[in-house]
Chain A
């Protein structure tokens, strides 16, 4: 039997479309930028003029075209190992978006599941989960990341894991709070009265109603993760060189900000655009998802 999960009229595409129509120009521009970045990321290998890791030690630190000493073909100049900044930025964009997407998803799954569990089961389970949340809140995440990277090494997988764990407690808190709120809603009781078991309630009645706060949190954590990744790189704990991520490029390139700023400008701008677009999207979805505001 096929289970077509209800697609509410408030589903994401519908909401997005409704919002797009009612959006002011600034938001439209921001969203267009976001879309453009994603497209750039997807086609990075095709667009990038060079191998992002190909070094050319003799032409290190060349400024972008149009400046003195610029190197033919290297639009945005070269970095400290003579690699093409443009190509690295594009590949970095791809990897960063991927890391952020995976990380945010992981956090969502992990935190969301725990939160759901806490909210639905209650009692001891809830107390345990919430104690873990409290603990996480009390320990700065940078340190958690440091430990994890130290224990597990800083391969891409581990970094995704670490980034995914960042903010799990937010998901858990949100989901648990929503679940608790929803569990008190008469429609849940109505479902129980209809004979629905816990699984059915979770899947058909709770989840669809938690989706929109989760989507908002998801967008938030996307941009958080992009920033976190750059912080890790700043601390020398990010993705291993020579692999380019935006965070790594900025984190490592910071020493060159006074002397060769072009190394940092492109990736930093990309980070700025990503987080900017994502933030606006999240804010926007929040407005869209807010029933109270919509009633107006």
Chain B
């Protein structure tokens, strides 16, 4: 178990280091920050001046070392654009994003697991098809179209829901739904498939032969097994989908989140923010995945003891 944890940690560390490096060089390759940071209309001598002020004139490798070193000072440098410690900027943005993601995940789980089960049980009837159709709809609408559409209906016309920021619980409704749309579609489909796999297994027959009611069989025996499979994808796919979704959703609902921050940092080549932001997100994803892995290993007794000692 200990060596397993150690291996996982090492692997995480390596992934992290690779990301650090790739992100660093990718940011440098993708255009000179000066063009973005200081903007238009400066003379070449001013340009030189600013380049050296932003320390962009140092050799790439020195910059890289400095970047690595900035991990130790707890601030991770100063944003080129916002002129404040990167850690402040990123940390301030993470919580709203996490909240939104959490809300979206909760909604997703609440909706898609029952839907997936229904779709699996009635896979051959119209109910199953209908559920899947609805789920697919979630996949079929670009999330920003869904977001703007909701905004027009519920705010512009009906004036029921607020659209700016994350101030109150009401603020969560539309962003959460817009973000969960794709997730629900994905997870419903996944739950259905996992459930279908389980439904065909021998132990389900055993459970029925015991005289358990159908509901009990499905929930206690079926879902428990399917759940493990579902868990394994949540970390993998969901993180990616959510990260992609958050960029758009945050922009539309003026959500002070990290997705929005990263895109604008990327667009403006705010290297320090971009680097640290990507790393934070990556770290979050890595940690979430590791947690999911752990949860997976914990939930699946077959993985709980990798090797049982000999006798």
Residues of chain A whose beta carbon lies under 8 Å from any beta carbon of chain B = 24, 26-27, 30, 131, 134-135, 137-143, 146-147, 150-151, 170, 173, 223, 227-228, 230-231, 234-235, 247, 250-251, 254, 257-258, 264, 268, 271-276, 279-280, 283, 286-287, 290, 292-293, 296
Evaluate contact between B145 and A254: CB separation under 8 angstroms: yes
Evaluate contact between B30 and A137: CB separation under 8 angstroms: no
Evaluate contact between B141 and A147: CB separation under 8 angstroms: no
B98 is an interface residue with CB less than 8 A from chain A: no
Q: Which of B254-269 contact A (CB under 8 A)?
A: 259, 262-263, 266-267
B219 is an interface residue with CB less than 8 A from chain A: no
Evaluate contact between A142 and B247: CB separation under 8 angstroms: yes
The smallest C-beta distance from B17 to any residue of chain A, in angstroms, reads 10
**Given A147-B26, A283-B189, A139:B282 Cβ within 8 A:** yes
Pick the contact of B30 from A139, A147, A230, A292 — CB < 8 Å? A147
Q: A250-B142, A271-B142, A279-B139 are in contact. List 16 more A-B contacts (CB 8 A).
A: A26-B126, A134-B15, A134-B289, A137-B289, A138-B16, A138-B239, A138-B281, A140-B247, A147-B27, A147-B29, A228-B244, A235-B263, A251-B144, A271-B141, A275-B139, A279-B185
The smallest C-beta distance from B185 to any residue of chain A, in angstroms, reads 8
**Given A135-B18, A143-B278, A279:B145 Cβ within 8 A:** no
Residues of chain B whose beta carbon lies under 8 Å from any beta carbon of chain A = 11, 14-16, 18-19, 22-23, 26-27, 29-31, 123, 126, 129-130, 132-133, 136-137, 139-145, 148-149, 152, 156, 182, 185, 189, 193, 196-197, 200, 236-237, 239-240, 243-244, 247-248, 251, 259, 262-263, 266-267, 278, 281-283, 285-286, 289
In the complex, what residue of chain B is closest to A275 when comparing beta carbons?
B140
Pick the contact of A271 from B126, B140, B281 — CB < 8 Å? B140
In the complex, what residue of chain B is closest to A149 when comparing beta carbons?
B30
**Given A138-B15, A139-B23, A254-B145, A279:B136 Cβ within 8 A:** yes
A273 to B136, CA, bound (A): 10
Evaluate contact between B244 and A272: CB separation under 8 angstroms: no
Interface pairs A-B: 10 shortest CB-CB: A140-B243, A150-B30, A275-B140, A138-B282, A272-B140, A138-B285, A279-B136, A276-B140, A230-B142, A146-B266
